[in-house]
Amino acid sequence: MAAVSDGSLKNCPFCGARAEMCVYGRAYGAVCGSCGAEAMPRPSRGEAVAAWNRRAYEKLEEAVLDWQLRGYSKAECLRALERGMPE
Ligand SMILES: [Zn+2]
């Protein structure tokens, strides 16, 4: 896994740190260099950027707020998000 800088990625919605684009074999996935939040890897860099930015400012933020309202910690939410977005 190689990390490369990508200025088009928005900052992490959890901790505000800069996100990095990682290459997993032939897939690209954005990950936060600080707290480890990540978006699902995609086959192209552009799709991975879009997936992270969309997730960073819509689904993730909403999911964390929702989970915190239900009494879960941010860490628990992050672990759950690694397995898939809760419905
Ligand atoms: Zn982060």
pLDDT tens digits along 17-56: 899 999 988 899 999 889 888 888 899 999 999 888 877 6
Q: How far is the CA of 26 from the centre of ligand 1 (A)?
A: 24
pLDDT of residue 21: 92
Q: How far is the CA of 44 from the centre of ligand 1 (A)?
A: 22
Quickly list DSSP for the chain.
Answer: -EEE--TTSPPPTTT-PPEEEEEETTEEEEEETTT--B---BSSHHHHHHHHHHIIIIIHHHHHHHHHHTT--HHHHHHHHHH----
Query: How much is the pLDDT for 43?
Result: 93
- Going from the Cα of 32 to the center of ligand 1, the distance in angstroms, rounded, reads 5
What's the pTM value of the predicted model, to 2 decimals?
A: 0.58
For residue 69, pLDDT over 70 is answered with yes
